[in-house]
Amino acid sequence: MYKRTFKISFRDAGGGLWYCLSTQHNMQAHVAMAAVVLVVSWLLKLTRPEWGLVLFAISFVVVAEMINTAIEKTVDLFVNTYHPLARLAKHIAAGAVLVAALNAVAVGVLVFLPHLQTIWRLVVGG
């Protein structure tokens, strides 16, 4: 019997990530936004706990998008014509991405707002 090695499993997982990055527009948008957030995080010199929150929020969105893609591809594999349950499965998966993205926005507000308020006070003098 064929035994998968860790190296092969890791390669296949990387292939799945690459597929999502190279074919899914929403994943590309999430990664672009994540890059901006990471640069801003670095410029603001976030604390370690703040970095942890930001990285977890980014990862949560990426994982949700990948699960959404997997669900969409699985539904497409088994359903050739319109079916209300297939539509519902896709909408629920997309809703999960929305929840993850809203969580990331909330984390962004909680983490970045105090830093931006401090900068605002320094610039405006308030």
Task: Catalytic residue, from 37, 65, 66, 68: name it.
Answer: 65
Residue 1 resides in a domain: no
The answer to whether residue 97 is domain-embedded is yes
- Does the annotation count 65 as an active-site position? yes
Q: How many folded domains does the chain comprise?
A: 1
Per-residue tokens: 14: 């990387």
Tokens for 112, please give them. Answer: 């970045």
Q: Compute mean pLDDT per 10 residues along the chain, 126 residues long, and list them.
A: 88 97 98 98 97 98 98 96 96 98 98 93 81
What would you measure as the largest C-alpha separation in the chain, in angstroms? Answer: 71
Q: Which of 59, 57, 67, 77 is nearest to 24 (CA)?
A: 67
Looking at the domain assignment, is residue 15 inside a domain? yes
- Identify whether 12 is part of a domain: yes
pLDDT at 121: 86
Residue type, 62: V
Range of the domain at 115: 6-124
111 domain residue, yes or no: yes
Asked if residue 63 is part of any domain, the answer here is yes
Is there a contact between 98 and 64 (Cβ–Cβ < 8 Å)? no
pLDDT at 126: 62
Q: Is the pTM of this model over 0.85?
A: yes
What is the domain-level CATH number for residue 45?
1.10.287.3610
Contact indicator for 68, 96 with CB cutoff of 8 Å: yes
